Chains A and B, each alone.
Chain A
């Protein structure tokens, strides 16, 4: 083959590699286009190596040469293959006969890396070195590693080391001294045994695992030995970074241990106020967005987390963690992580209801509902004032949750609002309000429910809603209610008979719930009623009273 043919072919190979680099960036490795590109590139290089032992590419700043002929030239800073290799010190790349498809693929993957955009720890030379290619060799100019002012270091150091020549007299004296006196009697050879090797294998097997928790242990030791304020501050900054690093990797237990250590310092009178100040700051930092963000990410990643460890972490947090937690609550993707955050906010919210309640202003309905749930779980009456603002929320699910919460928290101030909600446009809200009033259990609440049920318009409501209201009534197990229900059960009308039967069935149902045996004879009377609904509910009530079913 003529020389010019070689060069033409080398140029073609290089262009193909550049094309392959782009394809590799675009497609995943299991894509057919990706695989086809690698195979094509390999075929090209391999067919060249079929008649040549190697393909050596000489790298210059802006050009690549094969056999002293320029086969690539580019003066641009971006997307310049020559510069890409040259800047890290690569001066020659050689593909040798025997190159495997896998080697070329790995090489192309390195070529395809975007060093400007991706977070790549190593330069191209290190990446090539780590691959340990058998059939791709490279020559590196290591002058790039040394600062300009240290270029002649070797000569200077050598001169310095040679400065004092050996003393000829000393040398001869050594010879004389050595000639006299006794020879060595024993030498300490320490043979390596099979047992040693076995022990070593065990050690080497776990070489890549190191105890990352030592980091905080070491930093605390550093802190204990800090004498000046600047040293304490320095160590505090590193401790913050350690906490951040742990959380980034999901090492919650290590964060917990670090925080516990900080707490111990706070409680130890032997530590100075300066150190304590920074420990307080460290604990606050653990609850900041910088840490809570990674917590959210980690929990969402689906990696198994021990719940008790997470709870330990939360219990060590301060109220400053509430705001970032509320913020991330709405972004969490999994039920598991949301559940964890809600539990965390139940714990933390107790420390600052007001801050937690700010979450009620969130534009996402589900966040508001979650916060209401959290406030309900906390059970602090101070939350009522915030909750009351949500009973007019645009979303039914929020209103329902709010009413439920209000009902559980109680207090006179909620009665009026709940009363108003009994007329809400949504049936679920009306039922929830009734139940909430039931939960309150006060006479006023009872009166409100009774009034509502007695209202003419109430009779027009759906049977299911009415039933729910009557069920609420049964919460007051007193004569008032019993009399009211008996009266309703007995009530006959000419007009609106169907509605009346519904009311009577509800009254029977409620009497059953009350469990008063005195009304059994009355219920038996309606057990055989001509109205199916009344008949069924009377029968059920009897069974409930007689058998507790």
Chain B
């Protein structure tokens, strides 16, 4: 019963965001008195007024990349994705962080707000413009977009780091136990992935940044966790439920479990594999199937996890391995895990390619594989998730500052937050994080990425900056 009730609340919240987006879109092309705009406003009012009536007010807040309605985060819903993104972008553009609706709202209140909102879009001081426009209104109040305090961010980072390493340590324990024939506890895997899912929902970028560090000795375990994090993050973008995200996370965590059968000296070999070694490597999907199916009885989780382990190197066009006859379609989860796996493997120095590829180059390679090795549709979402310049990319800005991509921006995929490590005078600095979405008073972007470089080539240890 609780589930139904909660789902209803979420649905209402999503409808409100969606409807506000529809109003703004319509108002940008039509007069406020146009039927399309008026109809959209009326629908919006029918959604918010009952809530205002019972709660006396309604607060819509943009924090990071997510909207919160009266303090509760509104989840993404696939159908509304474009409208959500549009609204985030428009709010950010005008630096609006909060709108508080007080008392029962009338159509005219919304029209006034719309007018101010649209005019502000062309202003050099957009927030002030909107603020001015709604000043007289007693029913609508706005507040400026808050920046996340650095101290708070550091605390969250600590928690997320703990979760990440806990996941790696668990994976290490699982693989060791499987190898020695000990029983393992899948319930624990579920708990760990659940925590990861929570972090992805709340602090996606921070957890993603953990996956950008690759110089650990226990590569296989880190890789498994990275693939799990990347897969859950992608799943979140695709609008999967929390339960489905957990499933996906577990399957991704176990996708490479077959590697326990590969001798460590082969796995950690500093040079490229010879034919025999490749033969061994190519067997790990099959070994993975066996290992997973032996974990506990056959159930939906183990069966589907074994399918994912088997398929994650098969490729979208079945050109990969293991070779099979009469295979119809790859599992949805397998196609997600394949993307995450390829990306993490390419950007690491331990598997397949001995030389790590810079994240943005890895994405270019992946784009070349779109429709052949990789699912073209999911790849689009993947690139939008990690950003055109993924976390860990070494970038030169047009301001002659050198930085490392610190977080991606959900809306502006080519305008991430960057940690400056060398300033415009060529001096090393204890970097501050800047957002490339920031503009000057004329509306021009303050900073733009001009060039990307390979951090490995210059012996830059990303852990120093991202951990």
Chain A positions within 8 Å of B, measured between CB atoms, are 89, 100, 102-103, 105-106, 121-123, 125-126, 129-134, 142, 145-147, 150, 153-154, 157-158, 160-162, 164-168, 170-175, 177-179, 181, 183-184, 187-190, 192, 194, 196-197, 199-201, 203-204, 206-208, 210-212, 214-215, 217-219, 221-222, 225, 234-235, 238, 241-242, 244-245
Contact = CB atoms under 8 A, between A and B. Distances in A.
B458 A217 contact: no
Given A211-B331, A217-B327, A146 B464 contact: no
Given A133-B2, A142-B195, A196 B463 contact: no
A442 B173 CA distance: 81
Contacts of B433: none
Contacts of B168: 153, 157
Contacts of B377: 196, 199-200, 203
A130 B197 CA distance: 11
B191 A123 contact: yes
B5 interface: yes
Interface stretch (B31-39, B110-118, B159-167, B347-355): B159-167
Contacts of B414: 187, 189
A204 B239 contact: yes
A74 B300 CA distance: 38
Nearest to A136: B2
Contacts of A168: 428
B191 A126 contact: yes
- In order of increasing CB-CB distance, the 8 nearest A-B pairs are A178-B396, A102-B1, A154-B165, A161-B463, A167-B459, A153-B169, A170-B458, A174-B458
Contacts of B272: none
Given A187-B414, A207-B332, A218-B306, A102 B5 contact: yes
Interface in B13-34: none
B145 interface: no
A235 B287 CA distance: 10
A142 B161 CA distance: 14
Given A142-B166, A184-B452, A197-B79, A166 B460 contact: yes
A192 B381 contact: yes
A218 B304 CA distance: 11
14 contacts: A102-B5, A105-B2, A130-B242, A132-B242, A133-B2, A134-B72, A145-B170, A158-B165, A170-B460, A171-B428, A171-B458, A214-B331, A218-B306, A221-B310
Contacts of A199: 377
Contacts of A106: 1-3
Contact of B402 (A175, A189, A197): A175
Contacts of A217: 324, 326-327
A214 B6 CA distance: 35
Interface string B367-401: 10000000001011101100010000010101010
Given A122-B187, A208-B244, A218 B310 contact: yes
A160 B303 CA distance: 36
Contacts of A206: 332
Contacts of A105: 1-2
A20 to B, nearest CB: 16
Contacts of B1: 102, 105-106
B449 to A, nearest CB: 7
Contacts of B400: 179
Interface string B407-422: 0000001100000011
A200 B336 CA distance: 12
B11 interface: no
B229 interface: no
B354 to A, nearest CB: 17
Interface in B31-84: 72, 78-79, 81-82
B286 A222 contact: yes
Given A197-B78, A204-B78, A217-B324, A222 B290 contact: yes
A142 B413 CA distance: 34
Contacts of B396: 175, 178-179
A54 B304 CA distance: 41
Nearest to A164: B461
A40 to B, nearest CB: 17
B299 interface: yes
A219 B2 CA distance: 41
Given A161-B467, A197-B81, A241-B293, A131 B3 contact: yes
B266 interface: no
Contacts of A179: 396, 400, 426
Contacts of B346: none
A197 B388 CA distance: 20
A204 B238 contact: yes
Interface string B203-236: 0000000000101111000000000000000000
Given A130-B243, A203-B332, A188 B188 contact: no
B169 A200 contact: no
Contacts of B162: 154
A225 B283 contact: yes
Interface string B157-199: 0000110011011101100000000000001101110110000
A134 B4 CA distance: 12
B385 to A, nearest CB: 11
Contact of A166 (B79, B297, B464): B464
A515 B4 CA distance: 77
A192 B459 CA distance: 36
Given A165-B464, A167-B460, A196-B381, 4 more contacts: A126-B191, A134-B6, A145-B192, A171-B422
Nearest to B421: A171
Most B-side CB within 10 Å, residue of A160, A161, A183: A161
A126 B81 CA distance: 28
Contacts of B191: 89, 123, 125-126, 142, 145
B453 interface: yes
A325 to B, nearest CB: 24
A194 B449 CA distance: 28
B331 A192 contact: no
A190 B383 contact: yes
Most B-side CB within 10 Å, residue of A121, A171, A179, A190: A190
A86 to B, nearest CB: 15
Most B-side CB within 10 Å, residue of A123, A153, A157, A207: A157
A196 B300 CA distance: 29
B413 A189 contact: yes
Contacts of B82: 192, 194, 197
A183 B450 contact: yes
A377 to B, nearest CB: 37
B364 interface: yes
B302 to A, nearest CB: 10
Nearest to B461: A166
Contact of A210 (B218, B299, B331, B394): B331
A192 B376 CA distance: 11
Contacts of A165: 461, 464
Given A131-B2, A154-B169, A245-B298, A145 B188 contact: yes
A189 B328 CA distance: 31
B289 A218 contact: yes
A174 B169 contact: no
Interface string B307-339: 100100000000000101011110111000000
